[in-house]
Structure 1
Amino acid sequence: MTLVDLTHPLWAGMPKIPILPEVERHQITSIAEGAPMDISSITLALHVGTHVDAPSHVVAGGAAIDEIPVERFSGRAVVSRVDRRPGEEITVEDVLAGGPAPEPGEFLLVATGWDDRFTSPEYGDHPSLAPELAEWAVERGVPFVGVDLITPDLPVHRRGPGFDFPVHRTLLGNDVLIAENLTGLAALGGRRVRLLAFPLAIRGGDAGPARVLAETEEPGTEEPGTAETEKSGTGTGETP
């Protein structure tokens, strides 16, 4: 088995959505200045970088990140590779064309390749998940959705008056967790992997910064479940 890191590192001044404060890092003690050890601190909003959203992010009284059972952050996942432009919606048909259909209980990871733009202004103008796709994921029994985007909803500058974050509300409102700002998904497109996405257990947190990994077979070998998917006829782009 091989572990693939799907996590953006954290650093001072890193990209973020406009409403969030800058990420700052402070050196408290330094070996170079005669201290016996290096100690530093970091200040960041919980929705910067690779992280997992908790239901309390959009649901009053919803579960906070430390209240979610740890088993919820690990599971078999389908990686669907899609190709959409800024402002375009990613549909159910796109997801089914880009990988095998997730079975009930399987995670869904949507790979757009947008992570290549992470340090560019272009990162903020991205495709988004169609609200109908979020509804389909809920109906399908998908417990976790991950994207290589800053948000699965519309980009900030494309939102009209009264925008209410329909993708977030549909998913988190139905206890479907969301991982944002993943990286490296495109290379796994069309495959099944095991996702390990463990956020920091921040008491009362509406999200948690996370180290997210995909566990895969060695290149050229079959992912668990692939043969069964092909035999059943799913993953062909047809709605099951």
Structure 2
Amino acid sequence: MTTVNLTRPIRTDSAAGRLFPWEAPYRTEEIATLTYNGANLFHITMGSGAATRLIGPALSSPGGATVDQLTPEKLVNRPATVVTCRPGEDGRITAALVADAFAEAGPAHGDAIVLATGWGDQPDRLDTDEYLLDGPHLDPEAATTLVELLAGNGSDLLLTDCGYLDRPGGEHARAEWTALQPWLRPTFPSDAARTYLEHYRPEKVRRDWAATIALTASIWTVVGLVGCAALDGRRIRLTLAPLPVQGVGEVPCTVVAQFVGDDGQPVTPVPLRGDPT
């Protein structure tokens, strides 16, 4: 049996948290130290989109389910099919590409779907601006097609190695914020970021986040996977461990895949310790 961690590390030098006004950088501050206090304790701050993350309906719907409402059986030992979908030269994933990739993979009914583009398979670029800004993304029609395919397959969970589901920053935030010099766009919770977000109204969000809104309204979605090349062409088992933060629609999430043999058939996971439950 092979176990693969598909989670992007959370690091202080990551681009996540410094490019968009709704992000906050990952930071640690010592509360106590081993040398002085006999223990290392830290104050940690970060945005909900710091790395690999689970997104649910509450992201865009006031009455949508929050991440803490997911039951354990939705998170543990999920059978999944890997759907390999390479984007076009501009990074765009179209409806036709999604439909062809889905048909070729032939997922089993009810499987979670791992949409693998290859973007998370180069560790050296994961902390760069280009990893987030130039990554593959779904156009709105592709997102709608994917929702229909998932619903028809009885699938309620999508995972992908795309850093964002839409083109990062979309039309408005990319031009109005990210294109500025870094000293003109200090990270949240700066006054500048707060002021921009006061003017980043629903009409802009609906355009910049069209694919995200379409998918996460009904499909639990994990973005920012890494290392999916190890899963190519396989059927696997997935375990998700999101932070159980109450009342939010997006949180950092650990994702682990398991598979056995060359045929890619799922296996019953072996407990790390103790008796099976």
| TM-score under structure 1 length normalisation | 0.83
The answer to whether 1:86 aligns with 2:94 is no
Could you tell me whether the CA contact under 8 Å between 1:28 and 1:38 is conserved in 2? yes
The answer to whether 1:166 aligns with 2:179 is no
Q: Please list, as runs of the form range in 1=range in 2, the aligned pairs for 1:149-228 lying within 5 A after superposition.
A: 149-158=162-171, 163=207, 165-174=209-218, 176-218=219-261, 221-224=262-265
CA shift digits 1:66-100 (9 cap, x unpaired): 11212112311111222223332243334236x52
Aligned residues: 220
Could you tell me whether the CA contact under 8 Å between 1:87 and 1:126 is conserved in 2? yes
The answer to whether 1:95 aligns with 2:101 is yes
Q: Please list, as runs of the form range in 1=range in 2, the aligned pairs for 1:1-240 lying within 5 A after superposition.
A: 1-16=1-16, 17-19=19-21, 20-32=23-35, 34-74=36-76, 75-84=78-87, 85-90=89-94, 91-96=97-102, 100-115=105-120, 116=122, 117-123=125-131, 124-129=133-138, 130-131=142-143, 132-158=145-171, 163=207, 165-174=209-218, 176-218=219-261, 221-224=262-265
CA shift digits 1:126-153 (9 cap, x unpaired): 2223222233222322111111111122
CA shift digits 1:159-206 (9 cap, x unpaired): 6955063332232222x1110111001221111110111201101122
Return 100-109 or 11-20, whichever deviates more: 11-20
Consecutive unaligned residues of structure 2, counting only runs of 5 or more, are 174-203, 267-277
Return 19-28 or 83-92, whichever deviates more: 83-92
Consecutive unaligned residues of structure 1, counting only runs of 5 or more, are 226-240
How far has the Cα of 1:158 moved from its partner? 4.8
Higher helix proportion (structure 1 or 2): 2
CA shift digits 1:42-86 (9 cap, x unpaired): 111112201111210112211111112121123111112222233
Cα RMSD (Å) of the superposition?
2.1
Return 41-50 or 82-91, whichever deviates more: 82-91
Could you tell me whether the CA contact under 8 Å between 2:52 and 2:223 is conserved in 1? yes
Q: % of aligned pairs identical?
A: 27
Could you tell me whether the CA contact under 8 Å between 1:25 and 1:43 is conserved in 2? yes
How far has the Cα of 1:101 moved from its partner? 1.9
Structure 2: distance between partners of 1:76 and 1:204? 27
Structure 2: distance between partners of 1:186 and 1:53? 23
